[in-house]
Amino acid sequence: MTDTKKPKDEKPCRVCDSFKTWRRHEAKTHDPKTQKSGSTAAGLGALASMASATSAASSTTTLVDDCPPDSQVLGRATWTFLHTMAAYYPEKADTKQQDMMRSLLGSFSHFYPCGRCASHLREEMVRHPPTVDTRHALSQWMCRTHNKVNVLLGKSEFDCARVDERWRDGPSDGRCSWAQDIEY
């Protein structure tokens, strides 16, 4: 899972690439210029496949709900999970909880489906080991780590002073409060 190199004949890694990149690859795969000559029906089928893939690639970059995730979908879901987990981590973790969190993050960095992402996380954890003694410390470590990824991707950094607002409490204006809508 952690190898970032693919053999030439291997399919693209959906969780390593964006949907747009994957669709471009699929369109090239179905390019009639690269297909061997065959029957007219086969040629028309290849042309239809190419037109469909090209149309889909140019008209949308949104995944359908039942498609496997691309790197962007997986990344958002992963960061949502990691930040939320940190936000609900114990205020003061005992030794066993700290060991379990280190183990989870260490294992996670070996099994994350995007090999280059997993490798980057392992390297980052060597340079800056996770701080797991308190909820606040883990949330801040997670935010700083996420911001390093954001910088690598050309995205803006998140204000780490707002992690509780974003991942635990919600904004003070109450727009994310659902407790008022629950009937007991």
* Cα gap 99→130, rounded to integer Å: 11
Identity at 38, one-letter amino acid code:
G
* Cα gap 70→138, rounded to integer Å: 27
- Which tens digit of pLDDT belongs to each residue from 50-109? 344 444 444 445 557 789 998 899 999 999 999 999 999 999 999 999 999 999 999 999
CA atoms within 13 A on the CB side of 99: 3
Question: Could you tell me the pTM of the whole model?
Answer: 0.67
Q: How many CB atoms lie within 10 A of CB 97?
A: 14
All domains in the chain, ordered by first residue: 8-68 (no CATH), 71-169 (1.20.120.310)
Gap between the terminal Cα atoms of the chain? 46
Contact of 30 with 38, CB cutoff 8 Å: no
Residue 134's SS3 state is: strand
- Would you give the distance in Å from CA 14 to the centre of its chain? 11
Among 27-36, 37-46, 74-83, 111-120, the range scoring the smallest mean pLDDT is: 37-46
Residue 69's SS3 state is: coil
